[in-house]
Amino acid sequence: MVNQTQMANAIRALAMDAVQQANSGHPGAPMGMADMAVALWSDHLNHNPVNPHWPNRDRFVLSNGHGSMLIYSLLHLTGYNLPIGELKNFRQLHSKTPGHPEVDVTPGIETTTGPLGQGISNAVGMALAEKLLAAQFNTQEHAIVDHHTYVFLGDGCLMEGVSHEACALAGAWRLNKLIALYDDNGISIDGQVAPWFIDDTASRFCAYGWSVITCSNGHDAQAVSQAIATAKQSTDQPTLIICKTSIGKGSPNRANTAKAHGEPLGAEEIALTRTALGWSHAHFEIPTDIYAMWDAKPKGQQKETKWNTLFDAYQTAHPEKASELMRRMNGELPTQFSQVVVDAVVDAHQKAQTVASRKASQIALEAFTASLPELLGGSADLTGSNLTNTPSTPSFRVGANAQVIKNEAGQTGRHINYGVREFGMAAIMNGVALHGGFIPYGGTFLTFSDYSRNAIRMAALMKKRVIHVFTHDSIGLGEDGPTHQSIEHAASLRLIPNLDVWRPADTAETVVAWAVALQNKNKPTALLLSRQNLPYLPKADAGNASGLDSMNKGAYVLAEPSEVGINKKAQAVIIATGSEVHLALKAQELLATFKVATRVVSMPSTTTFDQQSVAYKKAVLPKGIPRIAVEMGCTDGWWKYGVSAVVGIDTYGESAPAPELFKHFGFTPENVADTVRAVLQRS
């Protein structure tokens, strides 16, 4: 009869062998967490290896993603479509077993982890999504959304500040179905952590409002299983289970040392470890009886079938709710959404309002949040500045009994006060998007996008629809000064592959930017929005859906020379973004008085424009005439558009009223016009 130690040893053997074969990787963490994994995966985790996308599965996040061989072993052993050949191919090109777990690459992986601290933060987002979705869809009889979110994490995740931001929120939100198991092995890369990590982790989590359980022997699978059972009983707090473990458990010479952390054990030590563990099977060979013990397919099928029966009953009783839930879980927008977009663009053209683009964003959101219940907004303590809330998005609140509070109309909150936690917000939003059922968006000042940056990058890498509302996007914010004024941010966000970046110029472009962001099912978007008012810019094709079609290409011809009374072909193209587009139009007028003919191109999204056909790009930016870019930010990114000059800012800003700053930094029609004339004289 196979015992739990043998089940754990199967993980240890696979981890040792795969890391050895790849000649790189981290054997220590999987070997140390193997018993915790047995406790969770064989006694508690509700999942179906045959259908990794079963909506009501428990979510499992390996926050210490360097221990990837733990999860690959578990997925293989429990019956996911991850054959042993993939484990033999660990860390090789195009294998399903990359160095760190990657969502949508390996069946059963819920999120991409590796950047420490973000996995636990994603898990907070998943648990939030579960709680909110349950409050929105479950009925007295039908607990359709009802699962746990489990996380494994190590010292590294706890040292990272983002874990504080996210875990504090998990406590405030009383995410009682979030259960984190801490691999407390006292080792990180530099050695015994004692000199640099003396936090009292139990007290820290108690202070966040978590329940904390300590397992003095994290290698006692039954004790860990008992702790998980207790954690599942929690009705109002998330739980941290502290498991005292040995890194590299089983290795006679490497266990409990940093040497077990990030390199192969070596053939000799592997042989010694096998002997110590009593594991005599060939490399990568798992005996059938151990496979049989691990096989989670029959139980998983049963659980899903039971849920399907419940869902059928739900569907019969509440057909609309059932199809709405499935639509949202599949990430599909409602069919009427495209009409909502057209109406919002037409409305923007008709009203022709002069407002800040952050206000234009709120106007767009009013239309979109009313028709998309999946939009889950928020702000990192700047709601009144970011303007991320609308009448359709009351504040998300949780009562002392851990229930999501509903208003008189029975609606849950849909706008989250993340507090001053930009990175936490971004990583939590990733978790919400990964869970499904919501499209998260969150606001802060553009300058603080640096705080969130790695989570934005992770959303882009994972191809998840997360929308960042970055307001106060330039020196145009004025008196707050250089600490708050973005300079390099637009350019540096544009460098992140698969991140769409929009800097709209007026109300119509802002609606389009939001619409594209919402339709970008497989990428995140950053919306860069002004603090200061911007005029509506008349467009030749306004008032019909074709206006939408040019704006959504990321750049379009806004004004030809004829619009300022010059009947000759353009001698130069002025390219501008966001708040600088109206300045470009004024420069165009001024140049006309000198008989200089220019075309103004509004380029709200360089990232979207870059995706267009060569023919379209040529039509907007014709060859043979000089181009001048205007943007209140660093100039670096513009040279790739073949510009002859950039009116930009390559220093930090200054504290002063915005109109003075515009003059000081040369953002005047006169300076733009002079720049164009200087370029023409040179060419």
Ligand X SMILES: Cc1ncc(C[n+]2csc(CCOP(=O)(O)OP(=O)(O)O)c2C)c(N)n1
Catalytic residues: 422
Partners of 357 in beta bridges: none
CB of 159 or CB of 402, closer to ligand X: 159
CB of 243 or CB of 467, closer to ligand X: 243
CB of 361 or CB of 430, closer to ligand X: 430
Which class for 579: exposed (0-12), middle (13-18), buried (19 or more C-beta within 10 A)? Answer: buried
CA distance 583 to 672: 8
CB of 243 to ligand X, least distance (A): 12
Work out which of 86, 155, 269, 422 binds ligand X, going by CB under 6 A.
155
CB of 663 to ligand X, least distance (A): 43
Q: Choose one: 152-160, 361-369, 526-534, 612-620; the region binding ligand X (CB under 6 A).
A: 152-160
**x-or-dash string of contact with ligand X, 97-116, rule CB under 6 A:** -----------------xxx
CB of 449 to ligand X, least distance (A): 18
CB of 113 or CB of 361, closer to ligand X: 113
CB of 365 to ligand X, least distance (A): 33
**x-or-dash string of contact with ligand X, 12-31, rule CB under 6 A:** --------------x-xx--
CA distance 667 to 665: 6
CB of 464 to ligand X, least distance (A): 19
CB of 190 to ligand X, least distance (A): 8
**x-or-dash string of contact with ligand X, 211-250, rule CB under 6 A:** ------------------------------------x---
600 within 8 A of 576, measured Cβ to Cβ? yes
CB of 66 or CB of 142, closer to ligand X: 66
DSSP string covering 228-247, please? HHHHHT-SS--EEEEEE--T
Q: Choose one: 124-132, 148-156, 349-357, 460-468; the region binding ligand X (CB under 6 A).
A: 148-156
Q: How far is CA 161 from CA 293, 526, 555, in A?
A: 39, 23, 39
CA distance 666 to 584: 12
Work out which of 47, 66, 303, 328 binds ligand X, going by CB under 6 A.
66
CB of 32 to ligand X, least distance (A): 7
φ/ψ (deg, to 5) at 245: -135, 170
Q: Choose one: 129-137, 155-163, 566-574, 598-606; the region binding ligand X (CB under 6 A).
A: 155-163
DSSP string covering 460-480, please? HHHT---EEEEES-SGGGGGG
Residues 172-211 close enough to bind ligand X by CB under 6 A: 183, 185, 187-189
**x-or-dash string of contact with ligand X, 247-266, rule CB under 6 A:** x-------------x-----
> Which residue from 199, 216, 205, 201 is spatially nearest to 238, judged by alpha carbons?
205
CB of 29 to ligand X, least distance (A): 4
CB of 103 to ligand X, least distance (A): 17
**x-or-dash string of contact with ligand X, 43-62, rule CB under 6 A:** --------------------
Q: Which 3 state secondary structure label does DSSP give 563?
A: helix
CB of 251 or CB of 510, closer to ligand X: 251
CA distance 78 to 73: 8
**Could you give the maximum distance between any two Cα atoms of the chain, in Å?**
93
CA distance 257 to 255: 5
CB of 52 or CB of 186, closer to ligand X: 186
CB of 214 to ligand X, least distance (A): 17
CA distance 288 to 357: 63
Q: Which 3 state secondary structure label does DSSP give 213?
A: strand
Rg (CA), the chain: 28
Torsional sign, CA 196, 197, 199, 204: positive
DSSP 447: G
Residues that bind ligand X (rule: CB under 6 A) add up to a total of 19
**Residue 156 engages ligand X in binding (rule: CB under 6 A):** yes
- Pick left, alpha or beta for residue 417 (phi over 0 → left; psi -120 to 50 → alpha; otherwise beta): beta
∠366-370-372 over CA atoms, to 5°? 115
CB of 114 or CB of 626, closer to ligand X: 114
CB of 116 or CB of 341, closer to ligand X: 116
Work out which of 9, 20, 48, 64 binds ligand X, going by CB under 6 A.
64
CB of 112 or CB of 237, closer to ligand X: 112
Which class for 417: exposed (0-12), middle (13-18), buried (19 or more C-beta within 10 A)? Answer: middle
CA distance 115 to 355: 39
Q: How far is CA 138 from CA 145, 146, 308, 575, in A?
A: 6, 9, 15, 51
Residues 525-554 close enough to bind ligand X by CB under 6 A: none
589 within 8 A of 558, measured Cβ to Cβ? no
DSSP string covering 306-349, please? HHHHHHHHHHHH-HHHHHHHHHHHTTPPPTTHHHHHHHHHHHHH
Q: Choose one: 150-158, 235-243, 271-279, 499-507; the region binding ligand X (CB under 6 A).
A: 150-158
Residues 348-367 close enough to bind ligand X by CB under 6 A: none
529 within 8 A of 469, measured Cβ to Cβ? yes
CB of 116 to ligand X, least distance (A): 4
CB of 159 or CB of 592, closer to ligand X: 159
CB of 18 to ligand X, least distance (A): 16
- Could you list the beta-strand ranges (E) of 345-464: 355-356, 375-379, 415-417, 439-445
**Residue 166 engages ligand X in binding (rule: CB under 6 A):** no
CB of 114 or CB of 604, closer to ligand X: 114
CB of 425 to ligand X, least distance (A): 17
> Which residue from 3, 5, 4, 2 is spatially nearest to 249, judged by alpha carbons?
5
Residues 376-395 close enough to bind ligand X by CB under 6 A: none
Which class for 453: exposed (0-12), middle (13-18), buried (19 or more C-beta within 10 A)? Answer: middle
CA distance 454 to 608: 21
CB of 162 or CB of 587, closer to ligand X: 162
Interface with ligand X (CB under 6 A): 26, 28-29, 64, 66, 114-116, 154-156, 160, 183, 185, 187-189, 247, 261
